[in-house]
Chains A and B, each alone.
Chain A
């Protein structure tokens, strides 16, 4: 999961919808856990991305290591 920090306005929707990977800092800006998102959580991740009011979030495919 990638975030464009110049866009993020601390709306916090993403953290409400995807607390498994997104925490908030003291000002309400998201801190996203690094590393790939387990497949079982992908629908939640997608919902968080879609909910961001300023389109600051994106999911990108990462190459799977053998």
Chain B
């Protein structure tokens, strides 16, 4: 395969990954908001969240593998595994490595959610709010297309969509209709059996 093909694949897969990851974050937030409408049942949000996340991992794998095997970059596998270890733009490449590794942790723990329990899964899932910004920084810092108009449009749309979702989440009231009562109940139960 020629170097050019590899290089274009790296760039294209990177841009696609950013779009997919942003969609995953938005869908994830929508499911915590319990968004639904007549034509959009709730399981659709969670099923999409899961499947788009898995698709994003495939594109990220493509993005990383083509970048590493490209003889022109000769980045080496270490840079793809150990953050901030690359000889080339260690900081910006490192953000990409961090984002991907967090994403893998988040995804793997989701697949074995039943085994690790809800609290641990949820704790790790909060890392999404670190992974996504790291991916965005990586794109701005070292993206070959970072400052071309089409990429900027993609960036702006992705960032606005995620920010809007996060704002909606911060402003939303607890979606569980009996949340307050149940929190009180759980609290009392844990105080009674806790000691």
Contact = CB atoms under 8 A, between A and B. Distances in A.
Interface in B83-120: 113-114, 117-118
B117 A11 contact: no
B42 A12 contact: yes
A33 interface: no
Contact size range, B = 10 to 19
A6 B46 CA distance: 22
Given A6-B189, A7-B118, A16-B41, A53 B46 contact: yes
B186 interface: yes
A13 interface: yes
A21 to B, nearest CB: 15
A10 interface: yes
Interface in B137-156: none
A36 interface: no
- Interface size on A, as a range, is 10 to 19
Given A51-B43, A53-B31, A10 B178 contact: yes
A16 B43 CA distance: 7
A16 B178 contact: no
Contacts, number: 36
A9 interface: yes
Contacts of B117: 55
A60 B134 CA distance: 42
A13 B50 CA distance: 14
A-side binding surface: helix, strand, loop or mixed?
Answer: loop
Contacts of B34: 11-12
Given A7-B118, A11-B34, A51 B176 contact: no
A11 B176 CA distance: 8
B177 interface: yes
B41 A6 contact: no
Given A54-B118, A55-B113, A55-B114, A11 B42 contact: yes
Interface of B: 31, 34, 41-43, 46-47, 113-114, 117-118, 176-179, 182, 185-186, 189
Given A10-B176, A11-B42, A54-B118, 15 more contacts: A6-B182, A6-B186, A7-B118, A9-B176, A9-B179, A9-B182, A10-B177, A12-B34, A13-B42, A13-B46, A16-B41, A16-B42, A53-B31, A53-B46, A55-B117
